[in-house]
C-alpha cells in the first residue's frame, strides 16, 4: 500500500486546504492518509465527502516536551469527536496563543513591532505557529526567507524558540490513548539529540505508553531508515511512515512519496481493524 500518515493542511501551517490535500493524495495513489495538523482538529470539521480511493485516518500532531526538550507526538486513528481529544486540542490552542504573545514580546525587544498581528494574517484563521511569524518577518524585509527567519530569530535556541509551555509527554500519550488512538513518536531524528539521548527518549516514550515510532519521515537516507527500523524492533514499537508534507514543490516532504517500511518492521496500520 501507499501510506502517508503525517501531513499538514492550512488548518495549521500547511499550504493546501484539507480537501485539496486529500485530492492530491488520491491523484498520487495514496491508500491510507492521515492529516496530522499541529495541535488542532479543525481540518476534520471541514472535510465532507471525499475521494473514496483514499482511506482517511483521523490524526493530530501534538507539541509536547521531554526533559525540557520540545518533541512531537502523533495521535493516529483517533476519534476526533472524543471529549478527551476535543479538550486536549482546545488546551493546546490556548497554549499556542500564550506562546505567540511571548514570541511577539521577544521579537518586539529586537525591534520588530506588531509581529503577532502580522503572524495572524498569514495564519488566516488557522492554528498559529512560528512559521507564520517567519512569513511576517519575510514580508517586512527583516529576512530573505523562512529559513533565515528560523536561523536568526525563531529556531532552536533563538529568541522566538519558546518550549517550556508545552504539555508533558506522558499527558499527551494519555490523551491519545484515551481517545482510542495510537501514540506515535514523530521524526525522532529531527530533535538533534545525541544517540544516547535519542534512545532514552524512545525508551521513556514506550514506558509512558507510547506504541509506535515514525521510522520514515519524508525523504531520508536508507541508513537512517535502517537505524530507526532497528530501534523500533528492539524497543518492540510499531512502525509508522509519513511525508510530513506542508507545501508543494518541497522534494523532501512530498505528499504520497513515502518509501516502503523495511520488511522486518510491524506497520502501525496492521493493528487497525479496518485495514485488515
pLDDT recorded at residue 274: 65
pTM, two decimals, is 0.92
Residue 183: phi and psi, rounded to 5, are -80, 125
**Short-list 1, 27, 24, 85, CA closest to 275:** 1
CATH of 3-89+168-275, one of 1.10.10.10, 3.20.20.140, 3.40.50.2000, 3.20.20.120: 3.20.20.140
The set of cell numbers assigned to 123 is 495564519
Q: Residue 172 and residue 187: Cα distance in Å, rounded? A: 16
Of the given ranges (74-78, 130-134, 214-218), which has the lowest mean pLDDT? 130-134
How does pLDDT run across 81-136, given as a tens digit for each residue?
999 999 999 999 999 999 999 999 999 999 999 999 999 999 888 888 899 999 99
Query: How would you classify the pairing of strands 32-35 and 3-7?
Result: parallel
What mean pLDDT is reported for the chain? 94
What pLDDT is stored for residue 93 in this prediction?
93
How many whole angstroms separate alpha carbon 9 and alpha carbon 15?
6
Percent of the chain having pLDDT more than 90?
86
- pLDDT over 50 at 66, yes or no: yes
The domain limits of the chain are 3-89+168-275
pLDDT in tens, 19-37: 999 999 999 999 999 999 9
pLDDT, residue 51, reads 87
Cβ within 8 Å of residue 70, ≥6 positions away: 63, 64, 163, 166, 191
Cα 109 from Cα 103, distance rounded (Å): 10
Give the Cα separation of 94 and 98 in Å (integer).
Answer: 6
- Read off the pLDDT of each residue in 66-91 and give the average, rounded to a whole number: 96
148-205 residue pLDDT tens: 999 999 998 899 988 768 999 999 999 999 999 999 999 999 998 999 999 999 999 9
Amino acid at each position: 500500500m501507499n501510506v502517508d500518515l503525517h501531513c499538514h493542511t492550512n488548518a495549521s501551517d500547511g499550504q493546501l486546504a484539507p480537501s485539496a490535500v486529500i485530492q492530491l493524495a488520491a491523484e498520487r495513489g495514496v491508500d491510507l492518509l492521515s492529516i496530522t495538523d499541529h495541535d488542532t482538529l479543525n481540518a476534520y470539521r471541514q472535510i465532507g465527502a471525499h475521494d473514496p480511493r483514499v482511506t482517511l485516518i483521523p490524526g493530530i500532531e501534538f507539541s509536547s516536551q521531554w526533559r525540557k526538550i520540545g518533541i512531537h507526538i502523533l495521535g493516529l486513528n483517533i476519534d476526533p469527536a472524543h471529549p478527551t481529544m476535543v479538550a486536549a486540542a482546545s488546551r493546546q490552542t490556548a497554549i499556542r496563543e500564550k506562546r505567540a504573545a511571548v514570541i511577539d514580546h521577544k521579537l518586539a525587544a529586537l525591534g520588530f513591532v506588531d509581529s503577532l498581528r502580522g503572524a495572524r494574517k498569514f495564519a488566516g484563521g488557522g492554528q498559529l505557529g512560528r512559521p507564520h511569524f517567519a512569513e511576517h518577518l519575510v514580508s517586512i524585509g527583516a529576512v530573505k526567507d523562512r529559513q533565515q527567519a528560523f536561523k536568526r530569530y525563531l529556531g532552536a535556541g533563538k529568541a522566538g524558540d519558546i518550549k517550556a509551555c508545552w504539555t508533558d509527554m506522558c499527558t499527551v500519550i494519555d490523551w491519545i490513548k484515551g481517545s482510542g488512538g495510537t501514540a506515535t513518536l514523530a521524526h525522532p531524528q529531527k530533535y538533534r539529540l545525541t544517540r544516547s539521548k535519542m534512545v532514552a527518549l524512545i525508551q521513556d516514550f514506550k514506558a509512558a505508553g507510547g506504541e509506535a515510532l515514525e521510522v520514515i519521515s519524508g525523504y531520508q537516507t536508507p541508513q537512517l531508515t535502517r537505524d530507526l527500523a532497528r530501534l523500533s524492533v528492539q524497543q518492540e514499537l510499531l512502525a509508522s511512515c509519513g511525508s510530513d508534507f506542508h507545501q508543494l514543490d518541497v522534494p523532501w516532504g512530498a505528499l504520497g512519496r513515502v518509501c516502503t517500511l523495511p520488511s522486518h518492521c510491524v506497520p502501525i496500520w496492521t493493528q487497525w481493524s479496518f485495514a485488515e
